[in-house]
A and B are shown apart, each in its own frame.
Chain A
Amino acid sequence: MLSAIEIEQITHELQQVPVKKAACIEALKIVQQQRRWISDESVADIAAMLDMSTAEVDSVATFYNLIFRQPVGRHVILLCDSISCYVMGYTKIKQALVELLHIGYGQTTPDDRFTLLPNACLGTCDHAPALMIGNDLYRDIAIADLPQILDQYL
């Protein structure tokens, strides 16, 4: 069931669009904001609110890589794996993260703290390699910086 906040925010978005369906992505963002990820139940709830079928909502949800259809940890690490970061050695950063967190891409630490995902270009190529955790962007990362960066996220 959607929470009161979610309903309120989705209702607000519905006022901005000419057809209900057009609020689909916004609704997914709102629910993900609250719950970290989009469960089958959330898909159904959003569908009901937007007069869409669950299939239609999920068709959209599964298309976009930043709508998570599986549970993620409290903090999602998005490591840029695009070309400038490749040149600047993101693969070593990845290896270091894997060793620090003992998880691979798409996995979540057992304490539910981190999920590690690769991400396409973060648009900060002059400061490669880069990663994002939540809303925070980290640039010019060195392996040595990683423990300190991760420590900020509980």
Chain B
Amino acid sequence: MPIINIDNKNYEVKEGKNLLEACLSLGLNLPYFCWHPALGAVGACRQCAVKVFKDADDTKGRIIMSCMEPVKDQLRMSIDDKDARNFREHVIGWLMTNHPHDCAVCDEGGACHLQDMTVMTGHSYRDYHFTKRTYNNQYLGPFLNHEMNRCIQCYRCVRFYKDFAGGKDLDVFAAHNHVYFGRQQDGILESEFSGNLAEICPTGVFTDKTLKQHYTRKWDLTSAASVCQGCGLGCNILAGERYGAVRQITNRFNAAVNGYFLCDRGRYGYEFVNSDQRIKTPMVHHGPAEQSNGIPILEHVHHRIVPGKTIGIGSPRASLESNTVLKELVGADNFYLGVSAADHDLVSLSLRLLRQGPVRAASLQDAAAADVVLILGEDVTNTAPMLALSVRQAVRRIPVAAAQQQVHLAAWQDAAIREAVQDDKGPLFILSVQETKLDEIAQGAWHTAPDNIARIGYAVSHLLNDTIPEVTGMSEQGRDIAATIAKTLKSAAHPLIIAGYGGGSEAILKSAANVAWALHDLGIDAMLSFTVPECNSMGLEMLDGHRLESAVERALNNGVDTAIVLENDLYRRLNQHSADLFFSNIKSVILLDHLYNITAEKATIILPAGTFAESDGTLVNNEGRAQRFFQVFAPATAVQESWRWLLQVAAASGHTTLSSLQHLDDVVKYIAATYPQFDGITTLTPDAHFRLAGQKVPREPHRYSGRTAMLANKNVSEPKPAEDEDTALSFTMEGYRGEPPSSMIPFFWQPGWNSVQAVNKYQVETGGPLHDGNAGKRLIEPNVNGHTPFYTEVPEPYLPLKEHLLLVPCYHIFGSEELSIHTPGIAARMPAPYLLLHSEDAKRFQVTEGHLLHFMDNGHHYTLPVIINDTLQQGVAGIPVGLPGMQIAEAPQLIKV
């Protein structure tokens, strides 16, 4: 490793980095703006100036930008040099000539990189006494504020939005000191990753608009490490609360999962926690429990638990702890997975494929490092948005190696590498039912029915391994596509095959596994990524249980007296007819959930269940990674974790094993001991007894203000702070001030680093993993040595039928997920229900765009306005999934219009 000399001290640093990265990785303070570990260096802001010297005798040296200078053995440099310090201070001085100094009213204040860097350089007096230039701000949609006067023109926003995330509607306009960052005209930012601008922007130009609705300074937030509930990827988040409301979600860096970024559903989908539809008190027969004859609520529940006649319905959006406790409470025979038949089939198949096959599941980090990507049947941007961002990085990264050969520069030389790369893209192939957003960066994108997609998958696998049967009756075009894909995959080192729930087809999943396994047999390090619909879909499937339809059947056969429904709206799992049947054939429904919904209307007893923000628990993501999320705040209401409610119910009923469990650690240990598939979840985070220097880890920064006053309007006595008996975190500002274990970091803060950029200080090296490794533990590892037989049951080709259409599911990042739509901004971006048709089919059924079309599914009538989409195969119709108020339709299925 090269040795560099910084201010007369030698340091061993990593080869291939730039000097800024090297300094920050060493823990040295050096201010910067335009550089970002995920974006590389462009040398725009000139903030990271240092001096370099020719040799030990050179006393004059010269100023260079550390972000643009590669590490070189024996290099001598100085951060502390007088000229370098002077220059850095003046860079801030220049930036401040137009910055409005409005920190007091700026949402970024207190968590502002510009503030931190200003203090770091020592710039404290303004010499500029002329007028400042001013800009008009833009309306950018429901997620981001725009305040251009604060802009310091670091160009990070466009580099993230355009270059990194592939957005098209944010750019830099004009020239000289009039440069403007925004949209061409006012309007909603189109990218699904726009919210990251709030973190990428080093000052208050782009700030979180949802935070503004209930603004709180970062130092006044009670925060905790959490895991996103928005999809099955399990991105790491930080959630902050004040006055009982979640105020903001920000990224929690995890190198293996989401890195520095989140999607907009994940960042903004938290408002359901604060919804006025929240269930906050126990209810019996739709009245508050206290008024129900004075009987304690647990008694009400206990009375209704009839052994053998009580079933539990689990949930893919509830924690492993809650699901497991429910399963134990009702007994394995009576535990049903609260998921639709299609989701269950697809997720359980995904799990089987990952466990039995020789190919590992890719993390998001792995996906970004793939050198060929094949997507089968999945609209990744809408079903697993951050995976789409990883795919974009893979496609961007692949040609970089060749460009580096040409220009002999490190990959962090962002502008030079982009210039050398030009429009070259890595190989991405997409087969989907309709055009997807990633098509624009794909080498090939084809649209056809799910079975036809699977057939191409099978055909590809046949070309990779001729023991897999040939697909007969394939069109010439299909054969060409398969040949192109197979040829590219064969030459890959780390190809990634993506499929999942979005395609709605088991055949696609099997064909994807075939391709990956065939590549594996060729000695290629292939990876699989199967998307799953919800945050704990995989965990629930691993826990195992009966199908939800059997619960309905059992109810119809008078086999159920009481159903305990865990965090679930069964009307999103069953069609209305089945759900109605189920509820009308059982005596009592005990529901634990957050929000009042249709299922709640059917409930006899409702227990207010904590959301992620009020709960501790564990989730398993689509790659089988178990991750702990921590309670953010102690609710002032009866809301508590579902698992705690269920433990209390168990205790009230004298349940043998569960009665002894009380705290999170008890439950976690119990799960690990009882279910070998979850062995290891005890090590996800330190247990509740963990202490650092004898202290707990505080959820509140030491600058947390108003604790003695914030409730004074209710009671002049300061209430006793809540105590956390489940974890090593405290709900207060008291506790250990140093760096906690990475799995429980409640906020990123270091002296002098108040903004999100403080994460540098928690990393082994800039952009690298956190100090004690990436949080989370993979529970599913491939069966590397075993040999799994390939799938051979190639589906028949789908050809358009005369009187029928094949209904396929269409997912929407904004709209298809149950809880996030309670954020008004997300609801505003949700599509209205529709039926997607090819124009030829529209002609056939004599409708045009906007016309209503009618069809029936399982006795339910659907009447939907038509949207024409000619990227669909003829004979295929798309229907949106999960939109509120829309009946679920089985898809894929044939419908008669």
Contacts and interface: CB of A to CB of B under 8 A. Distances in A.
Contacts of B171: 53, 55-56, 58-59
Nearest to B180: A62
Contact of A54 (B172, B175, B180, B184): B184
Interface residues of A, number: 13
Contact of B168 (A40, A43, A53): A53
A59 B168 contact: no
A134 B56 CA distance: 60
Nearest to A18: B422
Dominant secondary structure at the B interface: loop
Interface in B167-186: 168-175, 180, 183-185
A56 B168 contact: yes
Interface string A41-75: 00100000000011110110011110000000000
B466 interface: no
A62 B174 contact: yes
Nearest to A53: B168
B169 A59 contact: no
A62 B423 contact: no
A4 interface: no
Nearest to A40: B185
B185 A62 contact: no
Contact of B172 (A19, A53, A59): A59
A43 B184 contact: yes
A71 B198 CA distance: 36
A62 B168 contact: no
Interface residues of B, number: 14
A55 B183 contact: yes
Contacts of A55: 168-171, 183-184
B136 to A, nearest CB: 14
A87 to B, nearest CB: 24
A59 B173 contact: yes
Nearest to A56: B171
Contacts of A40: 184-185
Given A55-B168, A56-B168, A63 B184 contact: no
Contacts of A19: 422-423
Interface string A16-54: 000100000000000000000000100100000000011
Contacts of A65: 175
A54 B173 CA distance: 11
B184 A58 contact: yes
Contacts of A43: 184
Contacts of A63: 173-175
B853 to A, nearest CB: 31
Interface string B397-439: 0000000000000000000000000110000000000000000
A43 B168 CA distance: 14
A137 B171 CA distance: 36
Contacts of B169: 53-55
A19 B423 CA distance: 8
A55 B190 CA distance: 12
A22 B395 CA distance: 22
Nearest to A54: B184
B157 to A, nearest CB: 12
A58 B173 contact: yes
Interface in A59-106: 59, 62-65
A141 to B, nearest CB: 28
A135 to B, nearest CB: 24
Contacts of B183: 55
Interface centre among A19, A54, A59, A64 (most CB of B within 10 A): A59
7 contacts: A53-B171, A55-B169, A55-B170, A59-B171, A59-B172, A62-B175, A62-B180
Given A53-B169, A55-B184, 8 more contacts: A40-B184, A40-B185, A53-B168, A54-B184, A56-B171, A58-B171, A59-B171, A59-B173
Q: Which 9 A-B pairs have the closest CB atoms?
A: A53-B168, A55-B171, A59-B171, A62-B173, A55-B184, A54-B184, A62-B174, A58-B184, A63-B175
